[in-house]
């Protein structure tokens, strides 16, 4: 083998090595999302930043288990964190992290039959009826509806739709009197697979109220560049 041939071979080996490193980095992002628990964590963090302990309570998992999953997401470039005293608070690193999760979710919903069956089983047939962000935005401007945020209050404070009222779904039955009769209600929560809004609509309808849910949730509203309020 000539010197030139050896040079070309070594260059090809080096190039292939760099290519493997490149795709290994890409695979690390895929690995970060390859877990039902980690996908749920991303879904929760799309509502606002949380401590490890708060996330563990929400998912009913040990803190050590949740901390491990958060580290994998961070190593995949999807999360950032900061320390607050003895607690560590996590957040999505930027809007791209949510877009990636949303794209994965939407591809699965469109192309996996099992996903469609799971959604229908989880939400129920009645829960699939919904209005779009565009229609809600139009009706908001007309001032002809009540917008109801049925997520936990901590998520409402982190960000919510304009003029939305906060009544967590577990408090709704005891606080129905706070909602004027004769005005349609649009309930929303964390996203298209969040059952809180579905439960709220069913409860409101059982009490003779006109109600429907938003097709997706607060993160999608915010990602669309629509106005949000905080506090």
Report, as residue numbers or ranges, the catalytic residues: 189
Q: Work out the burial of residue 7: count CB atoms within 10 Å of its CB; fewer than 13 is exposed, 13-18 middle, 19 or more buried.
A: exposed
Query: What is the sign, positive or negative, of the torsion defined by CA atoms of 226, 220, 158, 204?
Result: positive
Residue pair 42/97 in contact (Cβ under 8 Å)? The answer is yes
> How do strand 211-217 and strand 87-92 relate by DSSP bridges?
unpaired
Task: Give the CA distances from residue 178 to residues 53, 145, 195, in Å, rounded to whole numbers and listed in that order.
Answer: 32, 14, 22
Phi/psi of residue 217, nearest 5 degrees? -160, -165
Tokens linked to 54: 């708060």
Q: For the chain, give me the number of helices (H) and strands (E)? A: 10, 8
């Amino acid at each position: 083998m000539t010197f030139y041939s050896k040079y070309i071979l070594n260059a090809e080996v080096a190039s292939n090595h760099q290519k493997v490193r490149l795709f290994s980095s890409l695979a690390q992002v895929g690995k970060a999302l390859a877990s039902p628990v980690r996908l749920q964590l991303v879904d929760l963090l799309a509502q606002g930043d949380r401590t490890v302990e708060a996330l563990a309570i929400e998912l009913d998992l040990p803190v050590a288990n949740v901390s491990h999953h958060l580290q994998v997401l961070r190593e995949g470039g999807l999360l950032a964190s900061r320390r607050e005293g003895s607690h560590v608070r996590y957040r999505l690193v930027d809007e791209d992290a949510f877009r990636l999760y949303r794209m994965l979710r939407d591809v699965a919903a469109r192309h996996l039959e099992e996903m469609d069956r799971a959604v229908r089983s989880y939400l129920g047939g009645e829960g699939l009826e919904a209005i779009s962000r565009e229609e809600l935005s139009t009706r908001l401007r007309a001032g002809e509806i009540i917008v109801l945020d049925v997520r936990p209050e901590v998520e409402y404070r982190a960000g919510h739709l304009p003029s939305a009222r906060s009544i967590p779904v577990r408090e709704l039955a005891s606080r129905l009197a706070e909602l004027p009769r004769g005005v349609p209600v649009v309930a929303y929560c964390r996203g298209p697979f969040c059952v809180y809004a579905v439960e709220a609509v069913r409860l409101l309808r059982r009490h003779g109220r006109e109600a429907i849910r938003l097709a997706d949730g607060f993160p999608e509203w915010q990602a669309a560049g629509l106005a949000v309020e905080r506090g």
